[in-house]
Amino acid sequence: MLPISRVMQAISCALFMLFCVFSGAQAATGPLTVQVVDHVSNQVRAGLEVEALERLSDGSQVWRAKRVTDGQGQAQFDLDGLGSGRNYVVRAKPYQHVVYSETISQTGWRQFRVGKFQLQVMDGRSGAPLPGQALTLKRRQADGGYLWAMNAQTDAAGWIRVDPMVGGVDAYAVEARSPTDGEVKASEALWGQGPHRFVLGNEALVARVRDGVSGIGLGDVWVEALERLGNGSLVSRLMRKTDAEGAARFDLDGVGQGRRYVLRTQPYSYLDRVESVDLTQAGEHLLRLGKLQIQMLDSRNDQAYRWRDVLLLEVQADGTHKSAGTYKTDGSGWIKLDPAQLGTRPYQVRAASLLDGSLKDSAAYNTEGSYRFSVGSAGLTVQVVDHVSNQARAGLEVDALERLLDGSQVWRAKRVTDGQGQAQFDLDGLGSGRTYVVRAKPYQHVVYSEPISQLGWRQFRVGTSQITLNESLSNSNLAGREVIAFEKLPTGALRWQSQAFTDAQGQIKFDLPGLGKGAVYLFRAVNPFGDGKDYYSDLLTWWGAYTFALNQADINAPDRVPPQVSLAFPEQAASVSRGGFRLYGSASDDVSIKAVRAFLTLPSGAVLERVASYRADTGSWYVDTGSLGAEGPGTLGVRVVAVDSGLNESVAAVDLSLLDDRIAPNLEILSHAAGAATPMGGFVVTGRVTDNTLSPRLTVQVSGGGLTAAEVRDVEVAPTSGNWAVRVAPESGFSTAPITLTLTAHDGVGNTTAKSLVLNPSDAFGQAWHVLRRTAFGATPGQVAAVAGEGAVSYLTRQLHPDSEDDSDFAQRQLGWPDLGGYLATDYLRHAVYSRRQLLEVMTWFWDNHVNTDYWRHIKADYERYEMAGFRAHALGRFRDLLEVSSKSPAMLYTLDGVTNMMGRPNENYARELLELHTLGINGGYSQQDVVEVARAFTGWTVVDGQFSFNASLHDNGVKVVLGTTLPANAGQADGEAVLDLLARHPSTANFVCGKLVTLLVSDVPVNSLIEQCAGVFVNTVDAPDQLAQVLRAILSSPEFLGSAYRGAKLKTPLELTVGLARNLGGDLGLSSGGDDLVVELQRMNMSLFVNPSPTGYAETGKNWVSTGMLLNRIRFLDRALSATPSAGATQFNLAGLMQADGLETAEGVVGRMLDLTLGPIWTRRHWDLGMALLTEEGSRPYFAWAPDAEQRLRSLGKALAVLPEYQYQ
């Protein structure tokens, strides 16, 4: 983007050109008036000589006239031929330099702008202008470089005002010699005419270089000033030599204004480079060189140890050495050093003896100063061989180090191998108790041998790993790249081993002592592509040649996070027997688990290793130890090791007590007493087996009940609690013959306990299941057994008298909800899910649906709620009272247009549906005239202030005849009441209503005999306050209802499916939304309550709810309801909690209970096999009640079972 000043300059020039064109057009003849204006200040220049020159056709110029500008900066010229084809330019010298105008070809007025580039030079120290300062002006080129434009000198106020050859659109820079350090300094790029400012001669940043010991200034030393950029990198800015006093001065921009600089010097090749800290202020900064100075002498003659290499060693906290650099003594034997940690860590120097070439270490140097070190003071033959190629390494330096008693190592000698790769040492005490190691640096890094304690010949193998660094995309090897070798510890930590640079072939050889011995290594390539990124190799566990292939798109960072492992069972100090036991727990990792292993340390000291079965999706593992053999009693140590894909490890451990077990297990049966009744379908028997040791086993034999053969099998026992569950299931159904279970508990060493249980199959459970599916919205957990125990007839008797049912729990629950819910239907669904008065709620919905109204016809939620409350109050009472609730309901008066039914303009909608849908039925014997007469009878029935009201002025008071019965004139509201009386007693009403009740409760196919029986009771009890209860009793006590012929034959409506799932599986609607989600689910399944526009209501027969789309909606509902991650506002299920409450921890038990909850006491072996296959993935995935995935797996099983036809039908 161009600077604003440059943009404004371009605009100014364009306007000026337009002005000139306009002026020329207006004055094509006459004199030329030139006005000279300062380009920056826009002030006119008076008293300035201006010359006019004619530009000839060959480009040369001829002087023609001279004028002096007046007070307006103007000068007039009368130039021959101007405006008639001759061309002129004008020139002036406003500011030290001659300036030429553009070519002028027309007379008139012309502005001549001068001083297009103006800059003031300021003294950086005083802030005052610099007069008489010589400057060079340079113009910026397209490539970013600068080309000389002109020289200039500042005036008395420090200004230059010039007109470069090309101005206005290019950037310029000025250069001048700094008074601070006498060097040339350049400005930044300057755009536009200015005015600009150039600060010259900043306060000096002075490097004072001194000897680190004597303090004497060091002259003629190069010092470099580097700027620290925002990303931390350093960029060289200036280099200066120190003067005789050791000072070097720098004029650096931005000092004291936030920019940071570092001073660096290295006066001698043998001296460390010294850098300052980051500097932000001007002034002197001391650089001390050679704070540690050592004069080295040959111990034989005290002559200078001159021009020889010396190794500086940093002594680590553990006494080991770290190389801090190699230096060369000068002609006087001195080395001058600046170790980074001097003062906090000691240093030593190492040098070769001039007697035998062995290396000698100096004393430790802890502080700055000047020291002396006398160097000098032997049969072991060491052959150095390459580990990969088996070639001897000739010409290789080998060091001998003594290993002291505390494990530390002291360097003793150095040799160079000959052509056979051999080096000889004469080492004090070798073979007499002292121990040595040799070390070498065969491939850029140091390698140590195993300890050596005897004289003789020893092979020293080096280069365990030959690494080729390769760029995979181009398949080219990378030379000169730094590679670091690390040992990767089981904790995930990386321990440095060595580092080196690749050779010209891109290769390095490393010595990694733990390869092939269980250690794990990896390599890191340091910034190989110059992008600031390091790249990692795969893991290595064996020696040999290895290609380290780099992919610039993937740094291949190692996994350094150890896995997590826990041992859930057994607990610390638990007792076990030598027969074996099971271990289980969990393991997880941020990437993946590679293996879980158990190590058993027996009392004898023997160690057994067992590989655990691990499930990555659940994070669970288990392992059966198997027999421990003839091991005696004592402490048994267990270590469980989890290893992840990055070979990181974590450990969980317990100590157990191995017993000599002679005590038999204890076996309990908890769910059933001897002789108890059981379903004729599948059921579960539960109990507990305990032992003084872990992991007792259980076997069962099931016979009788019509089974063709006895079934003998193992039964899973929960390890921690000892709980067990036995599924008992027929192929199709048990007979009434007794069933016998023989259970035998075994411990690990063969002690046993046996028990038998005789049970009696009964249809009471199947009948109870049927009753709860038809007269309730499904059974709640445990309810089937309760109703079976009480008896279905007794239960139904209580339901027909709802006031006898204690519904206080639901009432209390209602108090917890803040409102009636977010939807109109929410309140009813709460009743349907939680009320113990289930038959009342079923019938309340039935009557509401029977005389259906549509909320959208009135948009008053209270109308529907009041109507529903009336239906609930009379659901088991008189049918006549229900009709009156409906006929006077504002919801009905609006839905079927009763509010518009008036004398002279009767509306027949309600009359027709009252006869056809509410009472007589379409074939109930009424005529169209009866519809007209009934409509007249209900004229004037309307709504006022949200309540039923009779408006006599709108009523038709004439005589009416309905179904052959005459209604006298002037009866008013009584006309409608009389019609309701007449219809409530009509035989056709009895038949029609009973037909719908039998369809609801018994069968989609009419059962005529039962309908006739029901109708008789309906007519005979028409005036009884419990008429409908008696009608229902006739149906519910009938063999058609209580028998098995019609069980499981009715497809559930979406309402029955939705509410039933919540009841069957113990769903919790919650206290916030409290059932709103069920309303939405019903909408998705096309059964929105209270908003059905059809007067017929929703169908009670299954064929109306069967289609591909409807079935798919049911499956989607089940998938959402039992999702592994249900939404916060959804009905919540805790299936694992249900299982735990019943003490069910094994797969056999939870599958049986899930079948109980969904398919009821009619499930068979086929269903159980399916459930087990789903829960355990065909037996490949054990179920653990404690595992994090237990709830999810139960939900998946629940969804699968609820999709079955046996659940969808009732």
CA 703/CA 716 separation, integer angstroms: 19
Every domain of the chain with CATH number 2.60.40.180 lies at 118-200, 465-550
What average pLDDT does the segment 95-114 reach? 92
Beta bridge partners of 596: 642
pLDDT tops 80 at residue 450: yes
Beta bridge partners of 44: 37
CATH 3.10.450.50 is held by the domain 465-550: no
DSSP state of 1104: G
CATH 2.60.40.10 is held by the domain 666-762+1134-1208: yes
At residue 144, what is the residue type? G
Specify the pairing of strand 172-177 against strand 134-140.
antiparallel
CATH T-level fold of 4-114: Immunoglobulin-like (2.60.40)
pLDDT at 169: 58
pLDDT tops 60 at residue 840: yes
pLDDT at 452: 96
* Encoded tokens for 348: 């030593």
Contact by Cβ (8 Å): 88, 110: no
pLDDT tops 80 at residue 268: no
Residue count (the chain)? 1210
- Collapsing DSSP to helix, strand or coil, 36 comes out as strand
Which architecture characterizes domain 118-200 according to CATH?
Sandwich (2.60)
Q: For the chain, percent helix, then strand, then coil, each to nearest 5?
A: 25, 35, 45
CA 96/CA 671 separation, integer angstroms: 116
CA 470/CA 542 separation, integer angstroms: 20
pLDDT tops 80 at residue 16: no
pTM of the model: 0.62
pLDDT tops 90 at residue 411: yes
- pLDDT category, 700, cuts 50, 70, 90? very high
pLDDT at 300: 64
Instruction: Tell me the average pLDDT of the chain.
Output: 92
Lowest mean pLDDT among 292-301, 412-421, 529-538, 900-909: 292-301
Percentage above 90 pLDDT, the chain: 81
Every domain of the chain with CATH number 2.60.40.650 lies at 564-658
Model confidence over 969-1009: pLDDT tens digits?
Answer: 999 999 999 999 999 999 999 999 999 999 999 999 999 99
Work out the angle between the directed axes of helices 879-887 and 974-985 (0-180°, nearest 10): 140
CATH T-level fold of 292-375: Immunoglobulin-like (2.60.40)
What average pLDDT does the segment 788-809 reach? 97
Model confidence over 1025-1037: pLDDT tens digits?
Answer: 999 999 999 999 9
- Round to the nearest angstrom and report the end-to-end CA distance of the chain: 78
* Encoded tokens for 793: 């007839």
- pLDDT category, 29, cuts 50, 70, 90? low
Model confidence over 1086-1140: pLDDT tens digits?
Answer: 999 999 999 999 999 999 999 999 999 999 999 999 999 988 889 999 999 999 9
Q: Which of 337, 340, 223, 234 is nearest to 284 (CA)?
A: 223
Q: CATH top-level class for 564-658?
A: mainly beta
* Encoded tokens for 451: 């300890």
Model confidence over 357-405: pLDDT tens digits?
Answer: 778 899 999 999 999 998 864 489 999 999 888 999 999 999 999 999 9
pLDDT at 480: 95
pLDDT tops 90 at residue 117: no
Every domain of the chain with CATH number 2.60.40.1120 lies at 4-114, 205-289, 292-375, 380-462
**All residues at 6 or more sequence positions from 623 whose CB lies less than 8 Å from its CB, including other chains:** 582, 583, 584, 596, 598, 610, 611, 612, 613
Percentage above 70 pLDDT, the chain: 96
Q: What is the sign of the dihedral through the CA atoms of 651, 654, 655 and 656?
A: negative
CA 36/CA 901 separation, integer angstroms: 99
Model confidence over 473-522: pLDDT tens digits?
Answer: 999 999 999 999 999 999 999 999 989 999 999 999 998 989 988 999 99
pLDDT at 271: 65
Among all chains, which residue has been given the structure tokens 């004090």?
428
CATH of domain 205-289: 2.60.40.1120
pLDDT at 3: 47
CA 1181/CA 742 separation, integer angstroms: 28
Q: What is the sign of the dihedral through the CA atoms of 941, 943, 949 and 950?
A: negative
pLDDT at 14: 42
pLDDT at 13: 44
- pLDDT category, 254, cuts 50, 70, 90? confident
pLDDT tops 80 at residue 215: yes
pLDDT tops 60 at residue 7: no
- Collapsing DSSP to helix, strand or coil, 480 comes out as coil
At residue 970, what is the residue type? N
* Encoded tokens for 592: 């993946």
C-alpha dist (Å) from residue 927 to 524, 691, 903: 97, 82, 21
CA 868/CA 853 separation, integer angstroms: 11
Contact by Cβ (8 Å): 695, 581: yes
Model confidence over 924-971: pLDDT tens digits?
Answer: 999 999 999 999 999 999 999 999 999 999 999 999 999 999 999 999
Contact by Cβ (8 Å): 456, 406: no
Lowest mean pLDDT among 435-449, 780-794, 920-934, 1110-1124: 435-449
Q: Which of 16-30, 324-338, 889-903 has the highest mean pLDDT?
A: 889-903
- pLDDT category, 124, cuts 50, 70, 90? confident
Model confidence over 516-568: pLDDT tens digits?
Answer: 889 999 999 999 999 999 999 999 999 889 999 999 999 999 999 999 999 99
Lowest mean pLDDT among 267-281, 1047-1061, 1076-1090, 1115-1129: 267-281
Q: Which of 1034, 1023, 1025, 1024 is nearest to 994 (CA)?
A: 1034
Q: Which CATH superfamily is domain 380-462 in?
A: Carboxypeptidase-like, regulatory domain (2.60.40.1120)
pLDDT at 428: 85
- pLDDT category, 201, cuts 50, 70, 90? confident
- Collapsing DSSP to helix, strand or coil, 228 comes out as strand
pLDDT at 12: 44
